[in-house]
Amino acid sequence: MAGACNLPRRCYRMLAPVPVKQSRAYSQPIRPDKQFYSFANLINGRLRHCAPFQQAINPSTKEALWDVPIATESDLNAATAAATEVFRTWSRTPWARRQDGLKKAKSILDSAKQDFAALLSWEGGKPIQFAALEVEQALAILDFHATHEPLEDRLIQDDDELRLTLRYAPMGTVAAICPWNFPLALAMSKVCAALLTGNCVIVKPSPFTPYSVLKFAELVKDLFPPGVLQTLNGDEKLGPLMCSHPDIQKISFTGSIATGKRIVASTASTLKRVTLELGGNSASIVCPDVDPAVVAPQIAMGAFFNSGQLCVASKRIYVHNDIYDEFLEAMVGTVRSWVVGETSDLQPGTMLGPVQNENQYNVVRGFFKDAEDNGYKFALGSPIDADASARSKSFLIRPAIIDNPPDESMIVRGEPFGPIVPVLRWDDEEEIIKRANDTNTGLGGAVWSADVDRAHAIAERIEAGTVWINGYERPLAQAYCAGQKESGLGGELGTEGLRGFCNAQTVHYYKTPVAGRRT
């Protein structure tokens, strides 16, 4: 989703900084032992620290973090060989035993959640309370899968002549290619589904945020047979090698539309199964019967959460003319009240941190420049803020709200994936549905109305895989998440997401006696 997963219930009404529940203040390092800050690939149950190395960058300081090895083609071959071998037994391991591994993994992560929150803050630029929320998301995903009932055979027909059933069998080796915006939670959605359904999984974290995923795999490696769960940090060569490798049966990818299209092309030679969760340009439609003072802060959270680096976030906010001015004032006031700043000190209270990496930082600044060049009105922020950030020691960009830009503008048509959002006017319901659907993406959307029937009627016409009614974007572990149009293929999470990691097999059992004649 190039996006977030299950948020804890206590965060559903999160409109202000959320303190992290802790007995002591965060400080670097959280753990006194240096071993926790040593990172390795995991191949066939063994950690590999070998060179070459790279370092990810702390977005709050632009300084290099810890060494992490770069996997080679021979590492990939070793990992796939190990997975192929152990799959013979792992695929036949009872469901309950697979769940037992996930339950124990949850316990290990839960016992180290402060340490993981710190890692996520340093590698991702998240304010510490939201890094802690990502750990909670990962725990919720582990819990959902660790308590899920086995996938039962579907009985299609059963009469005197024929019993027809549909069963679900594991595929083999899954390559999970993960994004940088929610590195731990989104990796967990792939790992849990793959392992629970009897597959082996090789996880490739984003080279921008490799640390939390590699450390999780290291800590839980002894819970699973060697080769069942493996991790390979790699450069730009590793992903294409995975996509074309003959011993990988499925690719699960979360990331950009452009990369997703390249993955589809590269998997064609082996006809791998592919799940793609790609970009979005989700619209929020705000009807005139809502209270702007109540709704605007929630939409602000949905639009700017994680500094806008959330695939399902509201990226176009359409507000009815009758309440437009009041709504815009309330939204601007909400965002202006937030603390924006660097996050390396791990102090709770900051709402928006830096953009995660330099590439995305430059993309976002491009949207600021385009708005300035075209004379669009900044209701909040300005191009000056973006220019000043370019001279800072971080990738911080202060949030901006663009007041009613044209529909054909870059900020409306594109996906900045950063802290800049357009708010637009509408009058006619038919027209606004058409405007909301006028995009090549279809990942998410939201409708806000006091008239529940009206809200549902509008939501049913939104061309998107997930729609929220009277709530900002909060994907749940139990809710299937899939994109329409160019936002993806297939989906993940929920029971339906588990089926996406299985091969379907239809069994025809004819009840006509076939026993031979007795002699």
What residues have CB less than 8 Å from 170, skipping those under 6 apart? 87, 91, 197, 198, 199, 501, 502, 503
Whole-angstrom Cα distance, residue 207 to residue 504?
A: 34
Whole-angstrom Cα distance, residue 172 to residue 185?
A: 23
Q: Using only C-alpha atoms, what is the Rg of the chain?
A: 24
- Cβ-contact 46, 226 below 8 angstroms: yes
- Among candidate residues 134, 277, 342, 492, the one labeled active-site is 277
Whole-angstrom Cα distance, residue 138 to residue 129?
A: 14
Nearest Cα to Cα of residue 352 among 124, 119, 25: 124
- Cβ-contact 323, 286 below 8 angstroms: yes
- The Cα-based distances of 294 to 291, 350, 381 in angstroms read 5, 22, 23
Provide the token pair at 495.
Answer: 């029971």
Does residue 277 have an active-site annotation? yes
Q: Are strands 420-426 and 400-403 parallel, antiparallel or unpaired?
A: parallel
Provide the token pair at 307.
Answer: 């500094």
In our burial notation (b when 16+ CB lie closer than 10 A, e otherwise), range 73-101 reads: eebbebbbebbbebbeebbebeeeebbeb
What residues have CB less than 8 Å from 187, skipping those under 6 apart? 176, 178, 203, 205, 213, 216
Query: In which residue are the tokens 């390795």 written?
Result: 40
Provide the token pair at 178.
Answer: 């993960």
Nearest Cα to Cα of residue 305 among 169, 399, 423: 399
Whole-angstrom Cα distance, residue 129 to residue 347?
A: 8
Give me the phi and psi of 85, to 5 degrees please. Answer: -70, -50
What residues have CB less than 8 Å from 271, skipping those under 6 apart? none
Nearest Cα to Cα of residue 308 among 496, 469, 472: 472
509 membership: H or E segment, kind and range = strand 502-510
- Cβ-contact 165, 200 below 8 angstroms: no
State CA 424 to chain mean position distance. 27
Q: Which residues are catalytic?
A: 277
